[in-house]
């Protein structure tokens, strides 16, 4: 198995910077998800790992081997990096059967006929598509085609596998089913995997580690639990979780953070906090609470309701937050929010988490 080391990776397209100073250490056998909104640079990073884009700066190593060095203009061709890649589109050869699609990369790699036959049967069975072996791609469903694409990628036993939003073309049910298969295949293969998505449900279901990206940079890298329980920036706190953390900004007056005209939290002396973070399940809908709240929607979820609305602004102009409530709230109604006595964390003007005593 192979580690992946990324140091100071950057990519410019003319005067535009798509990726800046990305540094990651991916452990051997890990399943790392690059997660972030559209345009944050995650696919560009993946393409540089794959050898489909040359970095403008920084170094990429697979194990001890340098596969790209932007500062020296060195880049190993994609076909010589010893990796497999699953794309958003299935990209199957339409004139070949399922078996032939999976067999082809093995033949190109010089496997013997008997080795290829055994390996093709193994991966088709592992993905539960062996009964489709003699059909052309046009005669199987989209979910089945994506499984064939995955089988073709893992058949040569690559030590590194890259995934570029492979489930985005599937419907909701097939996404869940194929996601489970991906996780099982990864655990069985042990390959070091890097997966791009904007869907945090996919990320949390699959990842051993997540790199949350924003505007070409990595905001935080860690395990899913670390990112959910201890976000290091306001962006990560607002992006991770379903629903994400409740973040309330404001100004400091007389030792308190004031939001919508209401003092909501004591601020340590000398700390210019601009954001207070609360867990959405700890913020209560309460008619006697301090903050006025206009309900926009209420969605049933696992025995509770995800209630979204605006705080104190009226006509949808205040901060929009989502809380977890045991009771339903009618869209269009007005109520109030009761906050815990203390926030979980404070974030400063730069969005960085403030440390105790700072």
Domain range summary for the chain, segments of one domain joined by +? 4-237, 243-347
Residue 157: burial class (beta carbons within 10 Å; 0-12, 13-18, 19+): middle
DSSP SS3 for 250: coil
pLDDT value of residue 174: 82
- The answer on pLDDT for 50 being more than 60 is yes
Identify which of 337, 306, 350 has the alpha carbon closest to the alpha carbon of residue 324: 306
Confidence category of residue 327, pLDDT binned at 50, 70, 90: confident
Mean pLDDT of 312-338: 84
Domain 4-237 listed as CATH 3.40.50.300: yes
pLDDT value of residue 245: 95
* Rounded (10°) angle between helices 142-154 and 172-189: 20
pLDDT value of residue 90: 81
Q: Is 242:200 a contact under the CB 8 Å cutoff? A: yes
Residue 187: burial class (beta carbons within 10 Å; 0-12, 13-18, 19+): exposed
Q: Which residues is 32 bridged to in the sheet?
A: 194, 209
Q: Give the range among 169-178, 202-211, 220-229 with minimum mean pLDDT.
A: 169-178
Distance CA 67, CA 78 (A): 9
Q: Distance between alpha carbon 88 and the CA centroid of its chain, in Å?
A: 15
Task: Report helix, strand and coil shares of the chain as percent, to nearest 5.
Answer: 25, 35, 40
- The answer on pLDDT for 283 being more than 90 is yes
Distance CA 158, CA 61 (A): 16
Q: Token pair for residue 16?
A: 């535009």
DSSP state of 27: -
- The answer on pLDDT for 65 being more than 90 is yes
pLDDT value of residue 358: 42
């Amino acid at each position: 198995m192979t580690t992946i080391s990324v140091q100071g990776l950057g990519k410019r397209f003319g005067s535009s910077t798509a990726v800046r100073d990305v540094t990651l250490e991916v452990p051997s056998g890990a399943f790392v998800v690059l997660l972030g909104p559209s345009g944050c640079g995650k696919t560009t990073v993946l393409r540089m790992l794959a050898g489909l884009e040359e970095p403008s700066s920084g170094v990429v190593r697979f194990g001890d081997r340098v596969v790209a060095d932007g500062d020296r203009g060195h880049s190993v061709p994609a076909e010589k990096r010893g990796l497999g890649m699953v794309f958003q589109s299935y990209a199957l050869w339409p004139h070949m059967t399922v078996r032939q699609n999976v067999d082809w990369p093995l033949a190109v790699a010089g496997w013997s006929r008997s080795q290829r036959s055994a390996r093709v049967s193994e991966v088709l069975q592992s993905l539960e598509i062996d009964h489709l072996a003699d059909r052309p791609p046009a005669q199987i469903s989209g979910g089945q085609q994506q499984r064939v694409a995955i089988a073709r990628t893992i058949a040569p036993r690559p030590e590194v596998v890259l995934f570029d939003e492979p489930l985005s073309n599937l419907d909701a049910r097939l996404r869940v089913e194929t996601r489970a298969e991906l996780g099982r295949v990864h655990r069985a293969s042990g390959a070091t995997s890097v997966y791009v998505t904007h869907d945090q449900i996919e990320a949390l279901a699959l990842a051993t580690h997540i790199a949350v990206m924003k505007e070409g940079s990595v905001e935080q890298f860690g395990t899913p639990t670390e990112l959910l329980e201890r976000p290091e920036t306001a962006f990560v706190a607002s992006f991770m979780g379903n629903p994400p953390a409740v973040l309330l900004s404001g100004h400091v007056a007389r030792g308190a953070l004031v939001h919508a005209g209401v003092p909501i939290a004591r601020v340590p002396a000398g700390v210019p906090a601009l954001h207070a973070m609360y867990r959405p399940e700890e913020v209560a809908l309460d008619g006697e609470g301090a903050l006025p709240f206009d309900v926009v929607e209420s969605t049933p979820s696992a025995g509770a309701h995800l209630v979204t609305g605006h705080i104190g602004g009226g006509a949808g102009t205040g901060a929009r937050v989502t809380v977890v409530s045991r009771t339903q709230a009618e869209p269009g109604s007005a109520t109030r929010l009761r906050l815990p006595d203390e926030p979980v964390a404070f974030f400063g003007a730069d969005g960085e988490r403030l440390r105790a005593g700072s």
